């Protein structure tokens, strides 16, 4: 590996950490990082539209101090087991945001930061090549905007009536159900 490659990997990891942290902490604005702000806004909207369902999923996951990390890994694997797309990435972050808030409510010490780091590790280990091939993190806004414009000719506004979730959710609910089922 060359020094440039190492620097590039470090920069990718730091940008991923900024995006994941903004998403998990529901920061709607991240100074100087439009991509993180955009992703965090998408994550917040998905959480709002799916709050009750995410609550049920968290209840079924039954997190404990020793089970949080295996649950995160299993959800990641199930989410991306049959493909990667921007929608699944955003949906994964949305659920991780909800799951980390649930763990915080249950006073599972350090869960939010741990879930953030595990998510960063999983994304950089398993999705980095795909994200780079798509044009990097900055490509997410364009990809979602293009999909949204295609949907607007047939459906309501971007986040209305779960239209964005139809893009995000291809197979995702089944993935979470499979992750929950594999726990028991």
26: left (phi over 0), alpha (psi -120 to 50) or beta: left
pLDDT in tens, the chain (184 residues): 444 467 888 899 999 999 999 998 865 555 668 899 889 988 998 898 889 989 998 988 888 889 999 999 999 999 999 899 998 899 999 999 999 999 999 988 788 899 999 999 999 999 999 999 999 999 998 888 765 555 544 444 444 444 445 544 544 555 555 554 544 4
Count up the domains in the chain and report the number.
1
Which residues 6+ apart lie within 8 Å of 88 measured at CB? 79, 80, 168, 170, 171, 172
- Identify the pLDDT of residue 183: 45
Q: Name the residue range of residue 108's domain.
A: 3-183
- Identify the pLDDT of residue 123: 98
Question: For position 77, which CATH number holds?
Answer: 1.10.437.10
- Identify the pLDDT of residue 174: 52
Residues in the chain: 184
- Identify the pLDDT of residue 33: 81
Q: Are 164 and 50 in contact (CB under 8 A)?
A: no
- Residue 147's nearest CA partner among 130, 167, 131 is 167
- Residue 31's nearest CA partner among 18, 47, 17, 16 is 18
- Identify the pLDDT of residue 76: 94
């Amino acid at each position: 590996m060359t020094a440039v490659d190492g620097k590039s990997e470090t920069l990718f990891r730091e940008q991923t950490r900024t995006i994941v942290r903004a998403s998990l902490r529901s920061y709607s604005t991240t100074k100087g990082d439009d991509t993180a702000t955009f992703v965090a806004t998408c994550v917040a909207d998905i959480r709002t539209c799916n709050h009750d369902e995410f609550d049920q999923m968290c209840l079924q996951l039954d997190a404990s101090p020793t089970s949080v990390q295996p649950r995160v890994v299993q959800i990641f694997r199930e989410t991306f087991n049959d493909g990667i797309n921007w929608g699944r990435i955003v949906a994964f972050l949305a659920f991780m945001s909800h799951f980390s808030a649930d763990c915080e409510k249950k006073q599972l010490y350090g869960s939010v930061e741990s879930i953030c780091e595990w998510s960063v590790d999983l994304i950089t280990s398993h999705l980095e090549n795909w994200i780079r091939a798509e044009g990097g993190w900055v490509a997410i806004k364009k990809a979602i905007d293009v999909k949204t414009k295609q949907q607007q000719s047939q459906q309501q506004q971007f986040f209305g009536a779960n239209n964005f979730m139809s893009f995000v959710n291809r197979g995702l609910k089944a993935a979470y159900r499979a992750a929950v089922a594999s726990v028991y």
